[in-house]
Chain A
Amino acid sequence: MRRERCDMSEVEGGERGGAGGGDGAGDGVADAPPPFSDRVLENVLENVLQFLSSPRDRNAASLVCRSWYRAEAQTRRELFIGNCYAVSPRRATERFRCIRAVVLKGKPRFADFNLVPSNWGAHFHPWVSTMAAAYPWLEKLCLKRISVADGDLSLLAHSFPNFKELSLICCEGFGTAGLAIIAEKCRHLRVLDLIEDCVEDEEDETVDWISRFPGTTTSLESLGFDCVGSAVNFEALEALVARSPALRWLRVNHHVSVEQLRRLMARAPQLTHLGTGSFGSAAAAAPLLQGGGSSVEDLAWTFAASKSLVCLSGFRDVEPHYLPAIHPVCANLTSLNFSFAEVTAEELEPVIRRCHNLQNFWVLDTVGDEGLQAVAATCKDLRELKVFPLDPREDSEGSVSDVGLIAISEGCRKLRSILYFCQQMTNAAVITMSQNCQDLVVFRLCIMGRRRPDHWTGEPMDEGFGAIVMNCKKLRRLAVSGLLTDKAFAYIGEYGKLVRTLSVAFAGNSDLGLRYVLEGCNKLQKLEIRDSPFGDSALLSGLHHYYNMRFVWMSSCKLSPRGCKVVAQMLPLLVVEVIRDRDEDHDNEAVSKLYMYRSLAGSRNDAPSFVEIL
Chain B
Amino acid sequence: MEGGATYVSDLGNLKATELRLGLPGTDAPEKPTPENPRGSKRALLEANEEFRGKSKSPEADPNGQEAAPMAKAQVVGWPPIRSYRKNSFQARKAEAEGAGLLVKVSMDGAPYLRKIDLKVYKGYKELGEALENLFKCFSLGELSGMEGCNGSEYAITYEDKDGDWMLVGDVPWEMFISSCKRLRIMTGSEARGMRSSP
Contact = CB atoms under 8 A, between A and B. Distances in A.
Q: Which 6 A-B pairs have the closest CB atoms?
A: A531-B64, A113-B77, A392-B81, A448-B79, A112-B82, A196-B84
A237 interface: no
B77 A585 contact: no
Given A114-B76, A581-B60, 5 more contacts: A112-B83, A446-B79, A450-B64, A556-B63, A588-B38
Contacts of B69: 449-452
A585 B79 contact: no
Contact of A388 (B53, B57, B85, B123): B85
Contacts, number: 93
A592 B37 CA distance: 14
Interface stretch (B86-94, B100-108, B129-137, B189-197): B86-94
A498 interface: no
A592 B67 CA distance: 16
A503 B63 CA distance: 18
B15 interface: no
B62 A556 contact: yes
Interface in B53-75: 53, 57, 60-65, 67, 69, 72, 74-75
Q: Is the interface of B mostly helix, strand, loop or mixed?
A: loop
Contacts of A114: 57, 76-77, 83
Contacts of A112: 80, 82-83
Contact of A532 (B64, B74, B80, B123): B64
A184 B85 CA distance: 30
Q: Classify chain A's interface size.
A: 35 or more
Contact of A113 (B74, B81, B88, B122): B81
B112 interface: no
A365 B76 CA distance: 22
B38 A585 contact: yes
B63 A394 contact: no
A450 B77 contact: no
A505 B65 CA distance: 11
Interface in A437-473: 446, 448-452
Nearest to B178: A203
A266 interface: no
Contacts of A339: 85
Interface in A305-333: 316-317
Interface string B119-161: 0001100000000000000000000000000000000000000
Contacts of B82: 112-113, 170, 196
Nearest to B92: A317
B80 A505 contact: yes
Interface in B25-55: 37-38, 52-53
A115 B76 contact: yes
